[in-house]
């Protein structure tokens, strides 16, 4: 079937399109305009509308053991449990697998990456993703606090051996990339260490956070995994130390690609009477001048939410701020993690400054191909707040109205009121479509050129940007109309994007032995067999760089 | 016929759920379509622990990590491993080999409330602290006070014993408290979780609740991601609603609110027999041919067992997560419960669609 999206304003930076035109889709893919005489089977009139590729979220905690633990901990955040759901953003998300898929689709997002899958709960994460409708999914698998990697580094094993281990982990867990979360910090916390810097060493292993990050960065790069090592730095959220940690990590990129996650949580200085200040300008300068790094923001928005992280040390340290006052800290193999509910209050100096720092970073980092749009869902805010953030980025007047509602003490501590930049539609499309596809190594999406998957988001432009991005006029997934006027009209199931690097046979044998002898676990339990997911073609394998 | 029964039902309850994850997911999907209630046969047994965890938080350990790291293990209750007897040996047989604070220290086990003379497979040294089951909550409260350095009055155990135990707990390099989710009421579980939370002020300590088998916990997890709640969920009013009392399958059938039971029990070929309360209303049964043959079911489906007749996924307590199982090759060729449930769902949906057309 040939579908024509007719006469819309097509914003497709990857193909240098920014003007009125048509997009044609056939058999789930974008095709060139057919010759004279062929009439489309379906015409969607896009006159006066904005047409973009489906959006891609590179970092959103939507599935897996930790996310599900958060659901378990917080029945009060779920819509059906409360009489007054409108007050709780997560209550509106519902944040079941079902609602996650439907609500992302309604905003025109068609691919979402779960960024923190533990190797031992890969199957669990993929089961949840298989139950998440409409959108395509992908995962990053977490290494960097695991016994074997640290042991291999300590014992001076070869680069090739470490690559084989990383390849096995990515392949078995059906991941699209590798993430490293407070490298060594979680392992150190199990040794009762309560503070861990980039050059601190993990007791017993004698390897530093820096060495772990550099080892994984090199292995990921040499394996040709398109997405650079995705790093969650040490000292998240700690005034002063967070900024020092991220600066040290950025400088350690040393010319090789490196992605730094939710950098807003590291933009904290320790100046001022409250010992909490913005390092936004400094951090943005550092990112601007370090061409090999990419970042995402982790914007904070006001309201109740929950923080879900495999940074067990950080979550332990943050449990005193839990609201409501309860948290779950998990001592698992490798990273472990924690779930701490949180309320970001507009009237709080600290929370309001966090909000401002996120926007400073968005606006002061110049290159929209290197800064990515995230709230670190749900850590900074639920993904349902995205439309408001688009409005804040695109409209200085909206920012001013939000600033007017903040405590005066905050406004004095941020450069946000002076920043004039407003994101253009082209920059939004770059940041949420073209650039993420390139960053993830998924050339089949993020654009509307010939051969791209038929994932399209059509928006009704207007003064109210939040309204525009909150309810897409049309969304097509693989060429099928799934959303109309912000409402889901067809519930389909997408696929999960993975890499399949061929694991070395000797490493497979070694890991069989290792997991059996060390943990008493058969290595086959770490596998994610296709049959488990109960969907036809659950995976789409993306190529590694050659 | 099964689809007709479900369609004609005012409120079906889908229960048992002693099945692989695909069947559990298919059961939840059917409940969503049919406006049914879903409940696991053993939900009641896990709710006290789940309520304690979600009301006051917890430190939770993965069994394999505790096996490699815990140098001091506190067992609480008469049968902490009742839900999974194999876990005792898995956890206690070897010595901790990770961590400068724990490796080489061996593994010491204190069993609060163990029967005198009780032994555990694999545990080199078990010190039993005798304590009547009913006294455990008080002892845990005294211990918590002792650990925090607070005063406490007389109780079931002498103050010196409490002080020694508190010091022992505080002296762990990495400690782990193990208890059976089925044995503890909510307040006792809360007290133990709170004690472990306090211990983390100075050292590292975690807990390992042992859940009963039969996929009670696996079903609760799957329901949590698909509905937001760990079962006893009703789709009767469209949106999933959770209430551990109101949506108990037994209560709904006994009270006459539910008028159809769909039971899914596929993990064994021998039973267990269905509870008597299911006899009050029509029954659709899914189980192995041997099991369903003896049931007074209106419709019976002989279905396969995951890990024998077909591939599947089961919650694995030793792994602390879901693990795949493969067909053994001697399969009966019976369809999977998931396939049957999907077929019923598809019939209901197509009937809906043709009614709408």
Tell me, what's the pLDDT at B351?
86
Does residue B134 sit in helix, strand or coil? Answer: helix
The pLDDT value given to residue A344? 96
Q: What pLDDT is recorded for position B271?
A: 64
Is A287 buried (19+), middle (13-18) or exposed (0-12) by CB count in 10 A? buried
Alpha helices, DSSP H, located in A107-240: 122-130, 147-154, 159-173, 185-190, 209-222
Estimate the crossing angle of helix B216-227 against helix A65-73, to 10 degrees.
Answer: 80
**What 3-state DSSP class applies to A142?**
strand
Among B53, B230, B324, whose Cβ lies nearest the Cβ of A529?
B324
Give the distance between the most distant pair of CA atoms in chain B: 77
The neighbour count for residue A434, using CB atoms within 10 Å, is 24
- The predicted structure's pLDDT at residue A83: 45
**A18–B contact, CB cutoff 8 A:** no
A90 interaction partners in chain B (CB closer than 8 Å)? none
Neighbours of B332 (CB within 10 A): 16
Torsion angles phi and psi, residue B189, rounded to 5: -60, -40
β-pairing, B241-242 vs B233-234, is antiparallel
- CA-based nearest residue in chain A for residue B63: A332
- Whether pLDDT at B280 is above 90: no
What span, in angstroms and rounded, lies between the C-alpha atoms of A317 and A313? Answer: 6
pLDDT of residue B353: 83
B60 and A328 in contact by Cβ < 8 A?
Answer: yes
* Distances from the Cα of B197 to the Cα of A330, B48, B147, angstroms: 12, 18, 11
Question: What backbone phi and psi angles, to 5 degrees, belong to A487?
Answer: -115, 140
Q: Which residues in chain A are contacts of B50 at CB distance < 8 A?
A: 72
Q: Report, as an integer, the average pLDDT of B104-120.
A: 93
pLDDT (0 to 100) of residue A84: 41
Q: What is the pLDDT of residue A249?
A: 98
Quote the CA–CA distance of B321 and B221 in Å, as a whole number: 10
Note whether residue A18 is domain-resident. no
Mean pLDDT in residue range B255-267: 96
Task: Return the pLDDT at A156.
Answer: 98
Is residue A111 within 8 Å of A442, Cβ to Cβ? yes
Question: Does position B123 have pLDDT exceeding 60, yes or no?
Answer: yes
Strands A487-488 and A480-484: antiparallel
Chain A residue numbers touching B54 (CB-CB < 8 A) = 72-75, 326
Q: For B24-39, what is the mean pLDDT? A: 97
CB-count burial class (<10 Å; 0-12, 13-18, 19+) for A2: middle
Domain contains A241: yes
CB A63 within 8 Å of CB A97: yes
State whether residue B1 sits within 8 Å of chain A by CB: no
B99 touches chain A (CB under 8 A): yes
Query: Which residues of chain A lie closer than 8 angstroms to B313, CB-CB?
Result: 123, 127, 532
The pLDDT of B263-270, averaged and rounded, is 88
Half-sphere exposure in the Cβ direction for A502 (13 Å, CA): 2
ipTM of the complex: 0.96
Distance CA A318, CA A312 (A): 10
Establish if A350 belongs to a structural domain.
Answer: yes
- pLDDT < 70: residue spans in chain A: 78-94
Closest by alpha carbon to B249, among B10, B18, B11, B6? B11
The answer to whether residue A33 is domain-embedded is no
Q: Which of B19, B31, B33, B57 to mutate to test the interface with A (most CBs of A within 10 A)?
A: B57
Tally of CB atoms within 10 A around A21: 17
Instruction: Check if the beta carbon of residue A13 is closer than 8 Å to that of residue A53.
Output: no
B36 DSSP 8-state letter: -
Cross-chain Cβ contact A333/B65 below 8 Å? yes
Please give the backbone phi and psi of residue A480, each rounded to the nearest 5 degrees, phi first: -100, 140
Pick from A142, A282, A278: nearest CA to A216:
A142
Q: Confirm whether A269 is domain-assigned.
A: yes
What pLDDT is attached to residue B331?
73
Task: Report the C-alpha gap between A496 and A174 in whole angstroms.
Answer: 9
Measured CA angle at A340 (ends A262, A384), to 5 deg: 55
CATH number at residue A316: 3.20.20.140
| CA distances, B298 to each of A116, A143, B292 (Å) | 47, 52, 11
A360 in any annotated domain: yes
Instruction: Give the tens place of pLDDT for each residue, B316-340.
Output: 999 999 999 999 877 778 999 999 9
Q: How far apart are CA B302 and CA B287, in angstroms?
A: 5
How many separate domains does chain A show?
1
Burial code (b: 16+ CB inside 10 Å, e: under 16) for B263-302 equals: bbbbbeeeeeebeeebeebbbbbbbbeebbeebebebbbb
A85 in contact with B, Cβ within 8 Å = no
Q: What is the DSSP letter of A430?
A: I
List helix spans (H) across chain B: 2-8, 21-34, 43-56, 63-69, 86-92, 136-148, 159-170, 186-199, 216-227, 249-254, 289-293, 337-356
Taken as a whole, chain A contains a residue count of: 546
Expressed as residue numbers, the domain containing A349 is 52-497
Q: Find, in chain A, the residue whose alpha carbon is nearest to that of B231.
A: A72
- B-chain residues near A95 (CB < 8 A): 228
pTM to 2 decimal places: 0.97
Size of interface A-B (CB pairs under 8 A): 170
pLDDT at A82: 46
| Per-residue pLDDT tens digits for A87-127 | 454 555 558 999 999 999 999 999 999 999 999 999 999 99
For the residues of A506-536, what is the DSSP string, one character each?
Answer: HHHHHHHHHIIIIIS--GGGG---GGGG-SS
CA distance B124 to chain A (A): 18
Question: Under a CB-based contact definition with an 8 Å cutoff, are residues A346 and A352 in contact?
Answer: yes
Q: Identify whether A93 is part of a domain.
A: yes
Contacts of A74 in chain B (CB under 8 A): 54
- Best probe of the A interface among B68, B177, B228, by most A CBs < 10 A, is B228
Q: How confident is the model at residue B167 (pLDDT cuts 50, 70, 90)?
A: very high
Contact B62 A98 (CB under 8 A): no
What is the length of chain B?
A: 357
B222 — pLDDT class (breaks 50, 70, 90): very high
Q: Peptide bond before B272: cis, by omega within 30 degrees of 0?
A: yes
**CB < 8 Å from B in window 86-105 of A:** 94-98
In this structure, is residue A257 part of a structural domain?
Answer: yes
What pLDDT score does B4 carry? 95
Answer yes or no: do A333 and B22 touch at CB < 8 A.
Answer: no
């Amino acid at each position: 079937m040939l579908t024509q999206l007719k006469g819309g304003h097509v914003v497709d930076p990857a193909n240098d399109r920014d003007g009125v035109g048509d997009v044609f889709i056939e058999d789930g893919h974008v095709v060139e305009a057919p010759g004279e005489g062929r009439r489309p089977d379906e015409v969607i009139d896009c006159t006066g509308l904005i047409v973009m590729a489906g959006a891609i979220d590179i970092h959103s905690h939507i599935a897996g053991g930790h996310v599900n633990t958060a659901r378990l901990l917080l029945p009060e955040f779920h819509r059906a449990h409360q009489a007054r759901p409108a007050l709780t953003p997560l209550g509106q998300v519902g944040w079941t697998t079902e609602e996650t898929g439907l609500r992302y689709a309604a905003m025109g997002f068609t691919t979402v990456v779960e960024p923190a899958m533990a190797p031992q709960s890969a199957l669990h994460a993929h089961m949840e993703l298989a139950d998440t409708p409409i959108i395509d999914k992908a995962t990053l698998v977490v290494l960097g606090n695991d016994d074997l990697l640290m042991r291999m580094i300590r014992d001076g094993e070869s680069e090739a051996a470490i690559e084989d281990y990383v390849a096995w982990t990515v392949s078995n867990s059906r991941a699209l990339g590798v993430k490293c979360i407070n490298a060594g910090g979680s392992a150190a916390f199990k040794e009762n260490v309560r503070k861990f810097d980039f050059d601190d060493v993990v007791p017993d292993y004698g390897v530093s956070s820096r060495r772990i990050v550099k080892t994984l960065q090199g292995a990921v790069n040499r394996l040709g995994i398109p997405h650079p090592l995705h790093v969650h730095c040490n000292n998240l959220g700690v005034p002063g130390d967070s900024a020092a940690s991220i600066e040290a990590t950025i400088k350690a990129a040393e010319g090789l690609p490196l992605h730094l996650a939710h950098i807003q949580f590291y933009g904290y200085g320790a100046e001022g009477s409250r010992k909490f200040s913005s390092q936004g300008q400094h951090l943005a300068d550092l990112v601007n001048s370090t061409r090999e790094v990419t970042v995402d923001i982790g914007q904070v928005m006001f309201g109740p939410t929950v923080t879900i992280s495999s940074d067990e040390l950080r979550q332990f340290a943050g449990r005193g701020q839990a609201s409501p006052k309860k948290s779950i800290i998990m001592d698992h193999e490798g990273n472990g993690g924690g779930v701490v509910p949180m309320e970001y209050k507009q009237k709080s100096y600290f929370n309001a400054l966090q909000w401002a720092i996120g926007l400073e970073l968005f606006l002061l980092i110049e290159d929209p191909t290197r800064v990515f749009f995230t709230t670190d869902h749900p850590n900074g805010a639920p993904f349902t707040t995205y439309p408001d953030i688009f409005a804040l980025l695109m409209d200085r007047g909206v920012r001013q109205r939000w600033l007017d509602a903040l405590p005066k003490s905050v406004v004095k501590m941020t450069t946000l009121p002076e920043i004039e930049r407003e994101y253009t539609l082209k920059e939004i499309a770059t940041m949420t479509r073209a650039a993420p596809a390139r960053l993830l190594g998924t050339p089949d999406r993020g654009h509307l050129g010939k051969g791209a998957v038929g994932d399209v988001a059509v928006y009704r432009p207007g003064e109210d940007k939040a309204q525009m991005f909150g309810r897409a006029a049309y969304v097509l997934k693989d060429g099928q109309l799934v959303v109309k006027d912000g409402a889901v009209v067809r519930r389909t199931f997408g696929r999960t994007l993975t890499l399949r690097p061929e694991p070395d046979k000797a490493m497979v044998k070694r890991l069989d032995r290792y997991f059996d002898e060390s943990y008493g676990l058969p290595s086959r339990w770490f596998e994610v067999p296709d049959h488990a997911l109960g969907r036809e073609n659950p995976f789409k394998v993306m190529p590694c760089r050659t | 016929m099964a689809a007709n029964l479900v369609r004609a039902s005012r409120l079906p309850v889908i229960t048992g759920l002693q099945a692989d994850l695909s069947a559990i997911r298919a059961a939840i999907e059917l409940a969503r379509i049919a406006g049914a209630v879903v409940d696991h046969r053993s939900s009641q047994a896990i709710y006290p622990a789940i309520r304690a965890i979600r009301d006051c938080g917890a430190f939770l350990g993965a069994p394999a990590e505790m096996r490699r790291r815990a140098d001091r293990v506190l067992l609480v209750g008469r049968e902490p491993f009742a839900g999974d007897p194999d876990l005792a040996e898995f956890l206690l047989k070897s010595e901790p080999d990770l961590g400068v604070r724990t490796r080489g220290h061996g593994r010491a086990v204190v069993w609060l409330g163990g029967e005198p003379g009780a032994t555990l497979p694999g545990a080199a040294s078990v010190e039993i602290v005798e304590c009547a089951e009913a006294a455990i909550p008080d002892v845990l409260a005294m211990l918590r006070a002792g650990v925090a350095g607070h005063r406490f009055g007389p109780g079931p155990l002498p103050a010196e014993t409490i002080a020694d135990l508190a010091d022992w707990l505080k002296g762990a390099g990495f400690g782990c408290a193990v208890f059976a989710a089925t044995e503890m009421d909510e307040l006792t579980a809360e007290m133990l979780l709170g004690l472990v939370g306090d211990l983390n002020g100075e050292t590292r300590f975690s807990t390992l609740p042992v859940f009963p088998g039969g996929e009670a916990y696996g079903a609760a997890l799957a329901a949590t991601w698909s509905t937001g709640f760990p079962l006893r969920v009703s789709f009767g009013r469209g949106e999933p609603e959770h209430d551990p009392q109101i949506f108990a399958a037994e209560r709904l059938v006994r009270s006459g609110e539910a008028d159809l039971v769909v039971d899914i029990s596929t993990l064994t070929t021998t039973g267990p027999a269905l509870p008597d309360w299911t006899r009050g209303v029509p029954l659709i049964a899914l189980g192995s041919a041997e099991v369903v043959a003896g049931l007074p079911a209106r419709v019976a489906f002989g279905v396969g067992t995951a890990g024998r007749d077909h591939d599947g996924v089961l919650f694995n307590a030793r792994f602390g997560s879901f693990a795949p199982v493969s067909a053994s090759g001697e399969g009966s060729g019976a369809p999977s419960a998931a396939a049957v449930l999907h077929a019923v769902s598809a019939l209901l949906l197509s009937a809906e669609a043709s009614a709408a057309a």
